[in-house]
Amino acid sequence: MADSRSSGDQEFTDHAAAGQGIGRSVPRPDGADKIDGTFPYAGDLFLPGMLHARTLRSPHPRARIRRIDTAAARRLPGVAAVVTAGDVPGRATYGLIVADQPVFARDVVRYQGEPVAAVAARDARAAVRALAAIDVDYEPLPAVTDPERIVSVGGEADPLHPDGNIFREIHLRHGDPAAHGTVQVSDSYVVGMQDQAFLGCEAALVVPTADGGIDMRVATQWLHSDREQIAACLGIPEDRVRLTLAGVGGAFGGREDITLQIHGALLARVTGQPLRIRYDRVESFLGHPHRHPARLWFRHTASRRGQLVSVHARVVLDGGAYASSSPAVLANAVTHASGPYRVPHTVVDGWVVRTNNPPCGAMRGFGVPQVAFGHEAQMDRLADALGMDPVELRRRNVLEPGDVLPTGQLVADPLPLREAIATVAARPLPAPVSDRTPVTSLPGGRLAAADPGRVRRGVGYALAYKNLLFSEGFDDFSTARVRLELGPDGTPRAVVHSACAEVGQGFVTIAGQIVRTELGVDQVLLAPADTAIGSAGPTSASRQTWMSGGAVRAAAVTVAERLLGRAAGRLGLPPEVVAEPRRLLALADGEIVASEAGTRLPLADLLADGPVEAVEVFRHRRTQPLGPDGQGDVHVAFAVAAHRAVVDVDVDLGLVRVVSMALAQDVGMVLNPMALRGQAEGGTAQGLGLALMEELVVDGGVVRNPTFHDYVLPTIADVPALDFVALTHAQPGAPYGVKGVGEAATCSATPAVVAAVRAAIGRDLRRVPIRPQDLVLLPGQAHPADLVRPDAGGGGG
User: Do residues 225 and 728 lie in contact, with contact meaning Cβ atoms separated by under 8 Å?
Assistant: no
User: How many of the other CB atoms lie within 10 Å of CB of 576?
Assistant: 10
Residue 447's pLDDT band (cuts 50, 70, 90): confident
pLDDT surpasses 60 at 791: no
Rounded Cα distance between 352 and 150, Å, is 10
Which amino acid appears at position 94 of this protein? Answer: Y
Rounded Cα distance between 81 and 114, Å, is 20
Q: What confidence tens digit (pLDDT) does each residue in 645-672 have?
A: 999 999 888 999 999 999 999 999 999 9
Q: What is the mean pLDDT of residues 607-635?
A: 96
The helix/strand/coil state of 489 is coil
User: Do residues 663 and 719 lie in contact, with contact meaning Cβ atoms separated by under 8 Å?
Assistant: no
User: Do residues 349 and 174 lie in contact, with contact meaning Cβ atoms separated by under 8 Å?
Assistant: no
Higher local confidence (pLDDT), 193 or 445:
193
pLDDT of residue 6: 35
Count CA within 13 A, CB hemisphere, residue 684: 30
Judged by phi (left if over 0) then psi (alpha if -120 to 50, else beta), residue 665 lies in: beta
Rounded Cα distance between 193 and 698, Å, is 8
Q: Name the residue among 289, 266, 429 with its Cα closest to residue 352.
A: 289
Rounded Cα distance between 506 and 526, Å, is 12
Strands (E), 452-544: 455-468, 477-486, 492-498, 523-526
Rounded Cα distance between 179 and 162, Å, is 40
pLDDT of residue 778: 64
User: Do residues 686 and 718 lie in contact, with contact meaning Cβ atoms separated by under 8 Å?
Assistant: no
Find all residues with CB under 8 Å of 75, minimum gap 6, and list them.
none
pLDDT surpasses 60 at 317: yes
Q: What confidence tens digit (pLDDT) does each residue in 199-213 have?
A: 999 999 999 999 999
The helix/strand/coil state of 533 is coil
Rounded Cα distance between 723 and 12, Å, is 33
pLDDT of residue 769: 98
Write down the mean pLDDT value for the chain.
93
Q: What confidence tens digit (pLDDT) does each residue in 290-304 have?
A: 999 999 999 999 999
Which amino acid appears at position 559 of this protein? Answer: V
Q: What is the mean pLDDT of residues 429-439?
A: 92
Q: Name the residue among 714, 713, 692, 712 with its Cα closest to residue 704.
A: 712
CA 175 to chain centre: 33
pLDDT of residue 2: 31
Mapping DSSP onto H, E and C, the string for 133-183 reads HCEEEEEECCCCCCHHHHHHCCCCCCCCCCCCCEEEEEEEEECCCCCCCCE
pLDDT surpasses 90 at 399: yes
Q: What confidence tens digit (pLDDT) does each residue in 525-546 have?
A: 999 999 999 999 999 999 999 9
Q: Name the residue among 153, 83, 156, 76 with its Cα closest to residue 122.
A: 76
Rounded Cα distance between 233 and 258, Å, is 11
Strands 12-14 and 523-526: antiparallel
Q: Name the residue among 762, 752, 656 with its Cα closest to residue 424.
A: 752
pLDDT of residue 594: 83
pLDDT surpasses 90 at 268: yes
pLDDT surpasses 70 at 783: no
Rounded Cα distance between 332 and 646, Å, is 29
pLDDT of residue 796: 33
Report the percent of the chain where pLDDT is more than 70. 94
Q: H helices of 475-596, where?
A: 507-519, 544-570, 575-579
Rounded Cα distance between 291 and 362, Å, is 7
Stated pTM of the model: 0.94
pLDDT surpasses 50 at 186: yes
Q: What is the mean pLDDT of residues 124-128?
A: 98
pLDDT of residue 597: 62
Residue 242 β-bridge partners = 215
Rounded Cα distance between 75 and 135, Å, is 13
Largest CA distance in the chain: 94
Which amino acid appears at position 356 of this protein? Answer: N
pLDDT of residue 788: 36
Residue 155's pLDDT band (cuts 50, 70, 90): low
CA quadruple 212, 233, 118, 709: dihedral, nearest 10 = -120
pLDDT of residue 156: 67
Q: Name the residue among 79, 80, 85, 71 with its Cα closest to residue 129.
A: 79
Q: Which of 78-82, 155-159, 612-616, 622-626 comes out lowest in average pLDDT?
A: 155-159
Rounded Cα distance between 248 and 227, Å, is 17
Q: Which of 167-181, 591-605, 639-653 comes out lowest in average pLDDT?
A: 591-605
Report the percent of the chain where pLDDT is more than 90. 86
> What Cα–Cα distance (Å) separates residue 787 from each residue in 139, 390, 425, 682, 792?
57, 20, 25, 37, 10
Q: What crossing angle do the helices spanning 261-271 and 223-234 adopt, rounded to 10°?
A: 50
